[in-house]
Chains A and B, each alone.
Chain A
């Protein structure tokens, strides 16, 4: 099977080289060539992504492919494989169309072993693409943190069974690895650095985020839920065994995006989510706070939406040197409390308009050496007058622990 696809690919490459408009990707002489093409141009690659048959493999050769347009794949069970992250480079610095570098809209796809560089919008987006695997990829913006970089590096959305592993994302002006409106998710063994948000799980359910290195972002790991989207009500995410340090990069998100409100120097933020477990992480040198638990602050009209973080379990993390120089809105609040912030900070918001205050169900199961504060704000909008900080830990009963996420394509 593999060999056949390669042969067809090489034949198509030959046809395409004759000139645009004349190619016929359904034809192809199987005797024309019998090896992986040594070089590949963008038109050939896109032609392959259209003509590949279900179950086929598209191999990218070593070297750099310059692209002027976004690529797209809409065939099920295809593997798109490069020669390695440091060997196959898809360079989008001359891109003049499409909203992302690669768009995947089919199921059971594997993308692995290449680098996407300098896309004008998002890096790789997969939408409605179930059982997808992102593996051994780099998605980066080579100029470092910059407002003009694309929003998301790796961007699966509206999908079930999402696997992201051994992926490196650098420079995203929103989130490096972003999983949105999806169900059953694993993000592991990856590196997210110099993004606004390192890893973000948003409006999603059942996610395991573990064994990642998350550093030099504005905020490290975000578990968020937002109103006015088709899928709301994010819940059941576990963040564990991650190295989350030095997430002190300035916030370079364009205003208007939700992450533009993330204070530089935060390790983990849980916003408007239900049942989140945070354990076995090492949190070091995050200057605003290691862990932030906050409500969604802007006004909203979506009646399905609950803006509070609730049923959050925090245990057995290692905390070193956090909250020493709070940024953003928290800077002012910290000044009212002496300047620094503790390891774990809750905004203490427990109600929103039209709703009675509720017990947030926070369980902080950490030694007394781990510092905690609830700002006791009660309700938004943020008003320093309402500040009533307490280091008294909430006393909530711990419910049943979340099960391990299992993916049907990751046995």
Chain B
């Protein structure tokens, strides 16, 4: 009953107001809003039309998430801006909201918010209702059955997993804090959905300051004009390095897959596994140069079995294109004599 009243109330608000503005009290509240609409991030109940000040963006290389379409938005509070950082995620001010909606075409599944609260980032999952009029706070996540063909013409039926709040943290962990993953400057530096370069656009909008002359660009993981090395390392960076880095959830593996790592052993060449268990697939090392079939990395990226599949969270399907890239990369490495 209370829910229904709230819903009616929020619908009423949305329909009366001429221009919805993000609600800073909801954004900074210690308690997550029960409904996505309470943040005022979108003009409409279906979250198709961003409110004033909420900017759509995309990434050069996205994380693979079972072929879901992702709609990303940034909100930076009025009068504030993010500070440029070369290798890390941009330094977003308190009150920033990163919005990511996962969808198959027009069917929205979930919207994840990363909110920079006064004492750090918080990850908040919201799940869309059947009628697509509201998304409700869902800290324990959900499993959603996806019919064959929905995620792609040749994709069979599968179970899509909305992560729970702790699982959000598993991937977004940086030391003891929750941290965004995608919006690093090198991963944003291209022509975005507004048809202009996102970095200069954000600077012009006043969302980003202290921009240097030269801004690095990430290699496109599936652009054959890049070297295979650059493609594969770019793919690993966005799909694996959020855990496989010194301050990440998989730090204890000693397998560090961020773009900046230069020691081949650290990104797996000739490296023995630590806690792979049956995830080793009978291979002896993470990467056996020249031999994807003898490489644990190929085995785990190519599996969708729990306990074997990597990443552990965020996908139920194998990313065939990604697995093929990793295989091709390992295959062309010079074999150890």
Contacts and interface: CB of A to CB of B under 8 A. Distances in A.
A7 to B, nearest CB: 19
Contacts of B279: 121, 151, 254
A23 interface: yes
A8 to B, nearest CB: 14
A24 B137 contact: yes
Interface string B134-165: 00111111110000000000000001010011
Interface in B164-212: 164-167, 169-170, 173, 176
A151 B275 contact: yes
A355 B172 CA distance: 42
Given A97-B161, A255-B282, A21 B275 contact: no
A162 interface: no
Contact of A96 (B31, B127, B140, B159): B159
Contacts of B216: none
25 contacts: A16-B140, A20-B127, A22-B3, A26-B31, A49-B166, A50-B166, A68-B143, A69-B161, A72-B166, A96-B316, A97-B313, A147-B278, A148-B278, A150-B278, A158-B251, A158-B252, A174-B275, A226-B272, A226-B274, A229-B252, A229-B253, A255-B282, A257-B280, A301-B265, A302-B265
Nearest to B311: A99
Secondary structure call for the A interface: loop
Secondary structure call for the B interface: loop
Given A50-B164, A73-B166, A256 B306 contact: no
A31 B284 CA distance: 58
Contacts of B55: none
B254 A229 contact: yes
A72 B249 CA distance: 13
A116 B284 CA distance: 29
Nearest to A152: B275
Contacts of B253: 229
A22 B136 contact: yes
A50 B140 contact: yes
A228 B271 CA distance: 8
A95 interface: yes
B306 A254 contact: no
B290 interface: no
A103 interface: yes
Nearest to A121: B307
A97 B306 contact: yes
A151 B275 CA distance: 7
A151 B277 contact: yes
A180 B249 CA distance: 14
A174 B138 contact: no
A43 interface: yes
B52 interface: no
Contacts of B284: 255-256
B99 interface: no
B246 interface: yes
A174 B275 CA distance: 8
Contacts of A121: 277, 279, 306-307, 312
Interface string B276-299: 111111111100000000001000
A298 B166 contact: no
Interface string A223-243: 000101110000000000000
Given A25-B139, A127-B252, A46 B280 contact: no
B251 A47 contact: no
A49 B140 CA distance: 9
Given A24-B34, A229-B274, 5 more contacts: A46-B164, A105-B166, A174-B275, A256-B273, A257-B273
Contacts of A103: 166, 170
Contacts of A147: 278
Q: What are the 9 closest A-B residue pairs judged by CB atoms, nearest first?
A: A151-B277, A256-B280, A120-B307, A121-B307, A72-B166, A99-B312, A120-B306, A229-B254, A21-B127
Contact of A50 (B3, B129, B136, B139): B139
A98 B275 contact: no
A160 interface: no
Instruction: Give the size category of A's interface with B.
Output: 35 or more
A365 B296 CA distance: 43
A174 B277 contact: yes
B32 interface: yes
Nearest to A158: B252
B275 A122 contact: yes
Interface in A260-284: none
Contact of B306 (A24, A49, A95): A95
A70 B32 CA distance: 24
Candidate in A16, A46, A152, A254 with the most chain B CB atoms within 10 angstroms? A254
B278 A228 contact: no
B306 A98 contact: yes
A149 B279 CA distance: 11
A23 B140 contact: yes
A99 B270 CA distance: 23
B252 A122 contact: no
Nearest to B127: A21
B139 A173 contact: no
Contact of A98 (B272, B277, B312): B312
Contacts of A155: 275
A20 to B, nearest CB: 5
A180 B252 contact: yes
Contacts of A47: 139-140
A24 to B, nearest CB: 5
Interface in A297-349: 298-299, 301-302
A181 B173 CA distance: 19
A43 B169 contact: no
Candidate in B3, B136, B139, B283 with the most chain A CB atoms within 10 angstroms? B139
A50 B141 CA distance: 11
Contacts of B252: 127, 157-158, 180-181, 229-230
Contacts of A180: 252, 274-275
A173 B161 contact: no
Contacts of B137: 24
B32 A254 contact: no
A26 B32 contact: yes
Contact of B164 (A21, A72, A151): A72
A358 B232 CA distance: 43
B313 A256 contact: no
Given A73-B166, A230-B246, A254-B282, A21 B142 contact: yes
